Amino acid sequence: MSDSVLSQEELDALLTGSSIESVDSDTLSSSEESLLTKIFESMGTARASTLGQLANTSITLDQINLNTGTAAKFAEEFVSPLVGANATITGANLSGDWTLFAPETTVLSIGNSILQSEATELNEDITDAFAEAISTCMASDVKVLSDNVKSDIRPGATETQRYNNGTDFITTAGPLLRVGIHLTIDGASYPSYIITSMRTAKSIARLLAPAPTAPTNGGDLGEGSVSSGSGGNAINMAPAQFQQFSPHGVVEPLDNLALLLDVPMRVTVELGRTRMTIKDILNLGEGSIVELEKLAGEPVDVLVNDKLIALGEVVVIDENFSIRVTKVVTPMERIFDRENLHGKGGV
């Protein structure tokens, strides 16, 4: 807190009855830890279901654990290669970092399940397959979070890469919360992790906390009578009576994929790409022509969150450019046949 101005988090803390000091604390209170454990358990269960569908295998949640610390503390725990992505989450009442990663053993297990392979070390195909898994997990996390905080939370773009160790990847400053999500795959437990700033974690806990109940002047109001004011007129009061209902059937749960159907995604249509030297870029001006690698007549790429999902041709409808989809790209084609989707050349 500054000398004269309270931050939004501090104002919210006052309104919900929390202490202002806890907003910037590097530890979690017992109530915050309980609220966060429950939401991350929900995320872990949703992840297990969606990853199981992606990999066409049985995946269940094993356990969740929360740890606080710094980037240096967490980085030294990972001396082997890992695969991860630095992303963000943004909403009306929440904005922060959201780092997802997993060690080599987890990446191999999930990647091999998706590809139906038996790789023993990380390679490009396994990394690409796990990138699909991270995108799925990101969408699943945001869906669970939006549903629980009753607010539209949007995911940022994720760019998954391989890193030699934790020091190369975990660099976020300040106090951090690390969430370990352990999934059971083929009878063995494999860990994956979320790292976010303590401020973001506390903001989530604040949004999950129940609204404080306004105190009443007369204490608890039970059956009896109270005075209506200085006139002394008594008002009879009694608890409301409600009819008891019994269930008439079992409601079938929604398919887990349905939980993600209203998550907003960024759709991009890419005409083509090229590479230019700095000298050529500096020489660009009005009237300059940039030649793309794609040939005339080749289909354009339709990308969702920077992932190729379809090919199409450009059409004009009512003076607006549109895309007629000519081919839907399967996950296996994204991983194996990226060089051949256009007949020749890369995507």
What is the value of pTM for the model shown? 0.61
Higher pLDDT pick, 251 / 233: 233
The answer on pLDDT for 336 being more than 70 is: no
Percent of the chain with pLDDT over 90: 41
Our separate counts of H helices and E strands in the chain read: 9, 13
How many angstroms separate the CA atoms of 294 and 82, rounded?
Answer: 34
Where along the chain do the CATH 3.40.1550.10 domains lie? Answer: 8-208
CA distance 29 to 309: 44
Range in 6-10, 22-26, 39-43, 210-214 the model is least confident about: 6-10
Write the CB contacts of 61 (distance below 8 Å, at least 6 apart in sequence). 41, 44, 45, 47, 48, 181, 182, 183, 184
- Which part of the chain has CATH 2.30.330.10? 265-336
Whether residue 226 has pLDDT greater than 60: no
Q: Is 173 helix (H, G, I), strand (E, B) or coil?
A: coil
Q: Which helix (H) or strand (E) holds 7?
A: none
At 94, which amino acid appears? L
Stretch 73-80: mean pLDDT, rounded? 91
Is the CA virtual torsion 326, 331, 337, 338 positive or negative? positive
Q: What pLDDT, on the 0 to 100 scale, is given for residue 344?
A: 43
* pLDDT tier, 308 (very low <50, low <70, confident <90, very high otherwise): confident
**What is the chain's alpha carbon radius of gyration, rounded to the nearest angstrom?**
26
Give the mean model confidence (pLDDT) for residues 42-51.
94
Written out in words, the top-level CATH class of the domain with range 8-208 is: alpha beta
Q: Is the pLDDT reported for residue 292 higher than 70?
A: yes
Lowest mean pLDDT among 45-54, 221-230, 328-337: 221-230
* Cα separation, 131 vs 136, whole angstroms: 9
pLDDT of residue 221: 46
Let me know: does 106 contact 80? Beta carbons within 8 Å: no
Phi and psi torsions of 265, nearest 5°: -130, 145
Q: How confident is the model at residue 266 (pLDDT cuts 50, 70, 90)?
A: confident
Q: Supply the pLDDT for residue 200.
A: 92
Q: What is the pLDDT of residue 14?
A: 53
The distance of Cα 284 from the centroid of its chain, to the nearest Å, equals 39
345, pLDDT greater than 50: no
Q: Identify the CA nearest to 154 among candidates 142, 165, 145.
A: 142
Under a CB-based contact definition with an 8 Å cutoff, are residues 198 and 71 in contact?
no
- The 3-state DSSP class for residue 310 equals strand
pLDDT tens for each residue of 1-13: 444 455 555 555 5
Using DSSP's 3-state secondary structure scheme, residue 34 falls into: helix
Dihedral sign of CA atoms 328, 331, 333, 334 in order: positive
- Please compute the mean of the pLDDT values over residues 256-262 and round it to a whole number: 72
Whole-number pLDDT of residue 120: 92
The burial of 182, by beta-carbon neighbours within 10 Å (0-12 exposed, 13-18 middle, 19 or more buried), is given as middle
Q: What is the mean pLDDT of the chain?
A: 81
Interval 189-198: pLDDT, tens: 999 999 999 9
pLDDT value, residue 271: 85
Q: Which CATH number fits domain 265-336: 3.30.1110.20, 3.40.50.300, 1.10.3720.10, 2.30.330.10?
A: 2.30.330.10
Q: How far apart are CA 5 and CA 299, in angstroms?
A: 56
pLDDT one-digit tens code per residue, 130-189? 999 999 999 999 999 999 988 889 988 888 999 999 988 888 888 999 999 999 998 999
Q: Residue with structure tokens 């040939």?
A: 295
Task: With beta carbons less than 8 A apart as the criterion, state whether 306 and 320 touch.
Answer: no
- Per-residue pLDDT of 86-128, as tens digits, reads 999 988 778 899 999 999 999 999 999 999 999 999 999 999 9
Predicted local distance difference test score (pLDDT) of residue 273: 86
CA distances in angstroms from 293 to 86, 275, 328, 329, 346, listed in the order given: 30, 9, 22, 20, 9
Which ranges constitute the DSSP H helices of the chain? 8-15, 30-55, 71-75, 104-115, 124-149, 166-169, 198-208, 278-282, 331-336
Share of the chain above pLDDT 70, in %: 76
